[in-house]
Structure 1
């Protein structure tokens, strides 16, 4: 019998950042993952503290960045990988009115640290941006694919990864322990992303799920080393390749890329990118989204040692370390969860 403090189900951003909490606090754990959920690994990984459609602050942006960036830096150091790339992010203006809205936003105390007051003139002949750009400060790109691949290797090396589907009916839940075959844990945390809809213990939580599709293009003439947010985003990778995304589909719950999604992204991209490009990759995943745009964190209403860590939506890179810390403090230190992230807000 292998005994651990925690059994974790899933190996995306939520799970990995919770593992980091456990490692920091000298807790033992094992992770179950069957690679069925794709939202983290196919994500473009963009993080920024501003909602660029409305020029408003991301929920708890400062708190999230203050926790997230040191976590990713620690992972880079521990695993000897590079995953956090600082990125100049520009919001393309489509009118003078948008420029004025931007300047109004820069006067807001919570947005002032993140929005430059300088209008950046477009000098790239391959981009149509006659009204210029506004610059978002403290933005970046997390290489989620490299992170997850490297973290799984790390877990394997430490005999902490079970690459199999956890079958809920095999769980033996007692007051002070959970047993699954030859593994016994004090707690179990379900960080399954959209896969939680099949979980009999937490399938009641209101997780909507939004399909997103992202392209990788090769555009040798584009020659930009900064990200652009317009009707779609463009994020530079390397060797003249860029991520382009993303779509939002609330009906299709498959992980398969679609011609409709590809066509939508290409059409929007061509409204402002005026050079030739080639689509070299096309991926899709289901984001674990929630109607009130807040995470779903908490304890099962009946079983005191079952927990959920989910609902990170479109901003998992920033949110994951923040809610992982909150859940750990809730379990180990009896620190109450904020109502706006606690799953109990939907049970009242």
Structure 2
């Protein structure tokens, strides 16, 4: 019977970062089960990392810990892939420092930005506030704030990690491409058996499908649908910025010869959780796009996905309170690009070294 230390269910950001750390840092034997017909929200995301969020311009949660860790993690992963002969596609570095141009349209927001920029907490992230447009195709605004942000090539990270595992010379499979069914899982006193494989711990990194997991559906999930557009802006080739107005516009991190293709999004819908793009989403994005940029554009693609968010806006990670041979890593919401490496590493230490988890993110007991 093949023996694995861990079975990771999921091949998106959470699953790949956790498998990366379990394998590379803890030298664990990991089987990863990936369902191609169940792509994660990261498959349509832009990988934007913005340190300042929300209407009240708050510094994102644990920014001074999480953001430097994310930059180091993606940079390290890029070096790792290159060292293993997985040449990254052209223009596909894993971490790109970006200046984010935030269009300020309300006097209260302008005042908040000026006040925040003078504090030690926010000063490292707010570079400049000016009344002059930084780019010729920005609509008029009260001011424009320039933020130190970033963009990670999350698609290339997950693709390269899975390719590395699939191509590794191993005596047993390390990646299985199929949908995982909990009915195939047998729990023993201290471990689990899945299709004849002995598993020490099964970690579910299923995205919004965790709401259907019989072991973890009790958690306060709050999935939210998001829609985005891929657009061509011929008047703005090689735009090195992220633009934030009615929505966000960011370069498409693809290996395409075209240098004027951009991602723009996104929407939030808590009631329609179907995976398909909608007419409402298209109309909403077009309306917000007109508020964000004045240059003409052409829509290339309309995409949608369900984000695995939580009611407390904190990730789920840790062992099941009743079945310790089961664990979860989920609920990264809109911050998955930066949260996945940080909490993937933390969960790896928790699982392999019994490193304690803070009460803020520890799993509650089922009712």
TM over 0.5: yes
Q: Cα offset for 1:182?
A: 2.6
Alpha-carbon separation, structure 1, partners of 2:120 and 2:196: 54
Q: Cα offset for 1:97?
A: 3.6
Aligned partners of 1:37 and 1:192 also within 8 Å: no
Give the alignment's TM-score, normalised by structure 1.
Answer: 0.94
Structure 1 match to 2:125: 114
Alpha-carbon separation, structure 1, partners of 2:246 and 2:207: 27
Structure 1 unaligned blocks of 5 or more: none
Q: Cα offset for 1:261?
A: 0.4
Alpha-carbon separation, structure 2, partners of 1:60 and 1:123: 30
Give the alignment's TM-score, normalised by structure 2.
Answer: 0.90
Structure 1 match to 2:65: 63
Aligned equivalent of 2:213, options 199, 211, 221? 199
Secondary structure of 2:44 counterpart: coil
Runs of 4+ in 1 over 6 A off after TM superposition: none
Residues 1:94 and 2:105 aligned together: yes
Secondary structure of 1:216 counterpart: strand
Alpha-carbon separation, structure 2, partners of 1:274 and 1:68: 33
Residues 1:84 and 2:95 aligned together: yes
Aligned partners of 1:119 and 1:134 also within 8 Å: yes
CA RMSD across the alignment: 1.7
Structure 1 match to 2:346: 326
Alpha-carbon separation, structure 2, partners of 1:122 and 1:8: 47
Structure 2 match to 1:286: 306
Structure 2 match to 1:151: 161
Aligned equivalent of 1:132, options 130, 140, 143? 143
Secondary structure of 1:342 counterpart: coil
Structure 1 match to 2:241: 226
Structure 1 match to 2:44: 42
Count, aligned residues: 346
Q: Cα offset for 1:125?
A: 3.2
Structure 1 match to 2:255: none
Q: Cα offset for 1:157?
A: 1.0
Q: Judge which range, 150-159 or 271-280, deviates more.
A: 150-159
Secondary structure of 2:333 counterpart: coil
Q: Cα offset for 1:144?
A: 2.0
Residues 1:172 and 2:186 aligned together: yes
Q: Deviations over 1:251-274 (max 9, x none)?
A: 111111112101101111112322
Alpha-carbon separation, structure 1, partners of 2:183 and 2:218: 17
Structure 2 unaligned blocks of 5 or more: 83-87, 253-257
